[in-house]
Amino acid sequence: MAEIVTLRAEARNRAGKGAARAARRSGRVPAVLYGEGKPATMISLDPRELGRALQKPGFFARLVNVDLGGEMHRTLPRDVQVDPIKDQPIHVDFLRVNAGTKVTVAVPVHFTGQESSPGIRRGGMLNIVRHEIDLVCPVEAIPDHIGISLDGLEIGDSIHISAVQLPAGTRPTIARNFTVASIAAPTAVREEQAAAAAAAAAAVAAAEAAAAAGVPAEGEAAAAPGAAAAAAPTAAPGAAASAAKPAAGAPAGGAPARQPAGKT
């Protein structure tokens, strides 16, 4: 169960923006107590005490005992308004709760066992989908956090809410089996996988386009010139050269040789 914080409060006589501004000018933080079928009670808080409580993780999942003039009010913080410039609280809402009351709270998630995760040791990254999980639980059993171990998780593994051991008496507000975290691949690996997938898709698209256009594939086109050369007879160049060369001493045109006169 989460630690119970006690804040000392002072009553405010009036409600409204003017009274809230007057409380801030006096160095106090205006707040209100409501719920349990009782009228709302206007109070103010010490900003230093409130600031220390806000710095602790899980403020909205922690019970707060508001000490108003010696009377304790068990409450649950429901809203904190913050000045957008000074980043300081300017108003707080507290809901009165009784024992046995069930409330919805956002419980922070703590991850352990990073050194025992093979995926993280290989360079994987912890991708946190939900830093907090909304739970329905009794006010006297509000957990301060939900622990999730990463022991044995590989790259690509995911952690769903069904695999998370929740405190007894609690249940998530979402019925489906949602993802809490996963082990993602390193950026370099994802880029290599994406490039390989793009290259494979481009090759398939080129082959389909070539088949649709009737163009032979690359291997078939390379084999065509060799087949034509093999079909031609090897003796043809030599035979043509012999036929084109005339016999020695024979006149052109194939006429018979004439002997000189006076010789027999």
Residue ranges of domains in the chain, CATH in brackets: 5-98 (2.40.240.10), 104-185 (2.170.120.20)
**The 3-state secondary structure of 68-119, one letter per residue:** ECCEEEEEEEEEEEECCCCCCEEEEEEEECCCCCEEEEEEEEEEECHHHCHH
> Contact 109/75 with Cβ under 8 angstroms?
no
For residue 251, the model assigns a pLDDT of 47
pLDDT digits (tens, 9 = 90+) for 171-230: 999 999 999 999 998 865 566 667 788 888 888 888 888 888 776 555 554 444 554 444
Within 8 A by CB and 6+ apart from 216, the residues are 210, 224
> Contact 190/123 with Cβ under 8 angstroms?
no
Q: Is 159 helix (H, G, I), strand (E, B) or coil?
A: strand
Residue 235 banded pLDDT, cuts 50, 70, 90 = very low
Q: How far apart are CA 111 and CA 166, in angstroms?
A: 14
pLDDT digits (tens, 9 = 90+) for 90-140: 999 999 998 888 999 999 999 999 999 999 998 899 999 999 999 999 988
For residue 224, the model assigns a pLDDT of 47
> How far is CA 226 from each of CA 220, 221, 229, 230, 231, rounded to the nearest angstrom?
11, 10, 5, 6, 9
For residue 252, the model assigns a pLDDT of 47
pLDDT digits (tens, 9 = 90+) for 10-54: 999 878 888 888 899 999 999 999 998 889 999 999 999 999 999
Tell me the residue type at 139.
V
Dmax (CA) for the chain in angstroms is: 164
pLDDT digits (tens, 9 = 90+) for 74-84: 999 999 999 99
